[in-house]
């Protein structure tokens, strides 16, 4: 029988989100030209208060989407800082394991995307 990490990876699907300009972007194979809204792995982990090992486990679970820069550097969007910080803060408060924190992080990221999509739809409806 597979590990929890294997189960999480097999259950995860490609992460997509809608940009403000209604352009859908897939994180698998996406190449960015600018780092204005993105951080390196060490910067992201540091801001979120995660050790390198904790951050690597989050990546191993496939929860945090990574983007690739034109120079092949892997980076992470700033929009995921709050969900990751919240999930890991709650995980520490309630003494949850990394798997539970990863699941919580994934749900918070989904909620974040749904809220952005709802705000976009509300703005379009208000403009009609």
Per-position b or e across 52-65, b if 16+ CB within 10 A of its CB? eebbebbbebbbbb
Residues with Cβ within 8 Å of 96's Cβ and at least 6 positions away in sequence, in order, are 90, 104
Domain enclosing residue 102, as ranges: 4-126
| pLDDT, tens only, 56-100 | 988 898 888 888 776 667 889 898 999 999 999 999 999 998 889
Mean pLDDT calculated for residue range 8-22? 36
Residues with Cβ within 8 Å of 49's Cβ and at least 6 positions away in sequence, in order, are 85, 88
Tell me what percent of the residues of the chain surpass a pLDDT of 90: 36
Residue 8 near residue 103 (C-beta atoms within 8 A): yes
Helices (H), the chain: 4-11, 41-48, 52-60, 81-93, 98-126
Sign of CA dihedral 36, 40, 41, 46: negative
Q: Name the token pair of 18.
A: 């809608």
User: How many angstroms separate the CA atoms of 122 and 128, rounded?
Assistant: 10
Higher pLDDT, 5 or 35: 35
| pLDDT of 4 above 80 | no
Question: The tokens 């990876």 sit on which residue?
Answer: 9
Provide the whole-model pTM: 0.64
CATH of the domain at 44: 1.10.1660.10
Number of domains in the chain: 1
| pLDDT of 28 above 60 | no
The radius of gyration of the chain's CA atoms, rounded to the nearest angstrom, is 16
| pLDDT of 40 above 60 | yes
């Amino acid at each position: 029988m597979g590990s929890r990490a294997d189960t999480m990876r097999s259950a995860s699907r490609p992460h997509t989100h809608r940009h403000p300009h209604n352009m859908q972007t897939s994180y698998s194979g996406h190449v960015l030209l600018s780092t204005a809204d993105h951080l390196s792995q060490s910067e992201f982990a540091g801001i979120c208060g995660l050790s390198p090992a904790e951050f690597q486990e989050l990546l191993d679970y496939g929860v945090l989407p990574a983007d690739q820069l034109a120079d092949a550097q892997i980076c992470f969007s700033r929009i995921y800082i709050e969900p990751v910080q919240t999930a890991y803060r709650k995980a520490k408060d309630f003494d949850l394991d990394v798997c539970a924190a990863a699941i919580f992080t994934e749900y918070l990221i989904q909620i974040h995307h749904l809220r952005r999509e709802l705000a976009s739809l509300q703005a379009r409806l208000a403009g009609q």
